[in-house]
Structure 1
């Protein structure tokens, strides 16, 4: 009976995590995305302004009147920084997203979910294999660069902001296969941040055929 209750609790937690989560942070603050179970997948994102009420307290009318303010690269930037991770923090600032509407007070509006997946990390110049005992590989996200200072540590690491999404490339190489060999090298993915130690991280699931 206890085992059955624990199974139901685990299922409910998973369903809760898998539901889309919505987050809004005002310009100058930071969005903190988190998945206790699974890995982040950003569904929608906009840095800008689409109404006159959000993050409007104390702001003059001329700074919140523009309702057509959208940074077109918002989703790709959020995906590059957060997809495939357990947690991430992204500042809602012009230096990250650029300024889509000068003079307008903006906010970051994000929708994401936590998906069940496996994660593989291959340090630069290394090789590894991802595989499925049942089903075939489907790549959710891949990045060749560096998104933290802990993974594949090297001496004198000074940056964790090296984003080079490789999702499309890895899907073409690996999707639909039972196993797929990965090589984490500049000759395969090019050097997105010259002089810095990188790694290839891939999140994937095993789909039924």
Structure 2
């Protein structure tokens, strides 16, 4: 419980740490939540799918479908995997993506996020790359080994955009506090999250 509380405190302090105001986006069930950053990269702070009041996304709905206000599912890990480290991200608010926390209730997806000023490095599968800080030392914000789009590292085996294997802790242990860090994007370093799909390692970091 203490670890969970400390995690929430850290997440809530993120906007203050980077000197930017947190953004929010809301999507009624069946619609899409769109997150975007003109400057910097997305960092999800909090995400909930369900219903906690009778007014949000209530227009034209029957009383029975909006009466349960104790319906809430924490979707932070899902949204973080899909959106962190990207310039923009669109996620459909449906039960097929998020499990249904309350059958028969009309729900909505409520997301808070910030835009972190950072650098981004991408390594296609079976390549190496050096991330460098000319001033300060590396501080990794997010890392994923997989595939979240078809444009990055185009390949005939780029057949899925839902290949997630967050590697933030692993890359932090390798790189944080260093002036430079050599990373190898391969299945021998990071376990293969999607067999036969061509992948890439993406890292967002700052020099602090």
Give TM-score scaled by structure 2 length. Answer: 0.88
Query: How far is the alpha carbon of 1:62 from its aligned partner?
Result: 1.7
Contiguous gaps of at least 5 residues in structure 1: 1-16
Matches within 5 A, 1:1-209: 18-72=20-74, 74-155=75-156, 157-207=158-208
Could you tell me how far apart the structure 2 residues matched to 1:58 and 1:170 are? 48
Could you tell me how far apart the structure 2 residues matched to 1:68 and 1:40 are? 29
Larger-Rg structure: 1
Give TM-score scaled by structure 1 length. Answer: 0.88
How big is the alpha-carbon RMSD for the aligned residues of Structure 1 and Structure 2?
A: 1.2
Contiguous gaps of at least 5 residues in structure 2: 1-18
Query: How far is the alpha carbon of 1:158 from its aligned partner?
Result: 2.5
Structure 1 runs, 4 residues or longer, greater than 4 Å off: none
Aligned length: 190
Tell me the secondary structure at the aligned position of residue 96 of structure 1. coil
Query: How far is the alpha carbon of 1:149 from its aligned partner?
Result: 0.3
1:1-22 C-alpha deviation (Å, 9 max, x unpaired) = xxxxxxxxxxxxxxxx931111
